[in-house]
Chain A
Amino acid sequence: MAVSFLNRQRTIAAPGYSRWLIPPAALCVHLCIGQAYAFSVFNLPMTKLIGISQSAPGDWKLTELGWIFSLAIFFLGASAAVFGRWVEEGGPRRAMFTAALCWGGGFLVSAGGVYLHTLWIIYLGYGVLGGTGLGIGYISPVSTLIRWFPDRPGMATGMAIMGFGGGAFIAAPFSVWLMGRFATPTHVGVAETFIVMGLVYFCFMMVGAAIVRVPAPGWAPAGYVAPAQPRPLVTTQNVFVYDALKTPQFWLIWWILCLNVTAGIGVLGQASAMSQEMFRGRVTAVAASGFVGLFSLFNMAGRFFWSSTSDYIGRKNTYFVFFVLGTLLYALVPYAGAIGSIGLFVLCYAVIFSMYGGGFATVPAYLRDMFGTRYVGAIHGLLLTAWSMAGIFGPVLVNYIREYNVTHGVAPAQAYNVTMYVMAGLLIVGFFCNVFVKSVHERFHMRAVEAEDEVEAAPVFGGR
């Protein structure tokens, strides 16, 4: 009985079901897994589990704790790539349920790791199990949203992916509040916080799994008129998930995402330090944290704004805006530092971060335009390996260039200038990748019968 509740057939919407219930279902998942961006609030308390007021011998170091987040992001990309087809064929409810089990379970296992003061259990819990929940949860509503909103796929997926950006806004104050409730003079309260968060997130995500529905075959929104002629760069065909890997379009979009994210993620982690060093004496650490909060809001809002805009101007043009405007703004940051204009600095970064978020949110619709709706979630899963790659290279690139400059006598205020020009260079490469994106050759299209069979049979890891 419980298993049949998860079955794709049980999620087919009855007539009259409102498609506007799907974005909240997706947000139930994305708001929870977006907690990953706020995991750093646990770092400092977890370095004082033994010493309580300060680190004592035997307490974990920040460098050791940093691996928890890195592992989670690595497993996000890996699980999205590996389980993408399973998610697509089994339907959104089973995927959301699995993501809830992994994500909530990851917190509970990690609580055990904190209680036993055994770090590898946390690596396994939050990093591996939680990271797998992140990957499955991230892609679980994508193709469902696209099918419900054929008229505005960018806006629909943008809403869900905006939730991933917004999850940290809820998680950070919620975690701090819970730790405050559970802390005693002899206890930091991290383990209990993990238990509560694991249970709350599991329940919240299960609400999404209960609400979500897939449209009945042949359904279309009331009044929707499918274009009589295919629009340029928007296919009406489908490409099988593993055939997409054989197309140049997949790899061009992989690089487009990777370069856009590398540039953004590299400076995201350094925004606080950068603002303090570029405007030494004028921007305090507290003010810098205010900037970072503001940039995070633009990151979230950009996800909705740019993906919705792409429904009107097209995905390719949206990425052209990111690459052209981004290049100009990255190149303008050193000038803002040179003339001492904090306002210009904040403005440049606000727009840069809105486009960083926009890059994430627009890419599912770009994939749908190229490869069709049938396997878009699974193809998106494969593409998220670009995020894992960017997550490693972005911060390393920024830190290495800054370190090189400082050790070669460059003043800290100018140490980031070369970084900004390198980031602008990355975006120029991304621009040319975008130029070369054309329609997928018809030899990669699935035959109509084949596509229908895939939908009807919905096998689990079945043969093609």
Chain B
Amino acid sequence: MENTPQPMATGNGIKLVLAWGFVGIPLVWGIVQTLVNAIKAFQ
């Protein structure tokens, strides 16, 4: 079965940026903190 593309709801782009930013920013912050600590450990 092949599905025909459905129109994306207006405002989906903003919702996607907000949703991914909401989870992505803390995750990236945590990864950077871990990397900084790891680099300190090797120095």
**Contact surface of A with B, Cβ cutoff 8 Å:** 14-18, 20-21, 24-25, 27-28, 31, 163, 166, 168-174, 207, 211, 220-226, 286-291, 293-294, 296-297
Contact = CB atoms under 8 A, between A and B. Distances in A.
B27 A31 contact: yes
Given A225-B2, A287-B42, A297 B15 contact: no
20 contacts: A18-B12, A18-B15, A20-B16, A21-B15, A21-B16, A24-B20, A24-B22, A28-B23, A31-B26, A163-B23, A166-B31, A169-B27, A169-B30, A170-B29, A172-B33, A173-B33, A224-B3, A288-B41, A293-B38, A297-B34
Nearest to B37: A293
Contacts of A169: 27, 30-31, 33-34
B3 A18 contact: no
A367 B33 CA distance: 35
A172 B22 CA distance: 19
Interface string B3-34: 11111110010011001101110110111011
B43 to A, nearest CB: 9
Given A25-B19, A287-B42, A290-B42, A163 B27 contact: yes
Contacts of A286: 40-41
Given A18-B16, A223-B3, A173 B38 contact: no
B38 to A, nearest CB: 4
A355 B32 CA distance: 22
B7 to A, nearest CB: 6
A16 B8 contact: yes
Contacts of A220: 1, 3
User: Secondary structure at chain B's binding surface: helix, strand, loop or mixed?
Assistant: helix
Interface of B: 1-9, 12, 15-16, 19-20, 22-24, 26-27, 29-31, 33-35, 37-42
A16 B13 CA distance: 12
A16 B6 contact: yes
A211 B19 contact: yes
Contacts of A20: 16
Contacts of A207: 22
Given A21-B19, A25-B19, A166 B3 contact: no
B35 A297 contact: yes
Contact of A287 (B3, B20, B29, B41): B41
A223 B22 CA distance: 29
Contact of A222 (B6, B22, B31): B6
Nearest to A28: B23
A293 B3 CA distance: 44
B10 to A, nearest CB: 8
Q: Which 4 A-B pairs have the closest CB atoms?
A: A290-B41, A169-B30, A16-B9, A170-B30
Contacts of A16: 6-9, 12
B35 to A, nearest CB: 7
A24 B20 CA distance: 6
Given A15-B9, A18-B9, 10 more contacts: A14-B9, A16-B8, A20-B16, A21-B16, A166-B27, A169-B30, A224-B3, A225-B1, A290-B37, A290-B40
Contacts of A288: 41
A173 B35 CA distance: 12
A306 to B, nearest CB: 18
B31 to A, nearest CB: 5
A193 B27 CA distance: 20
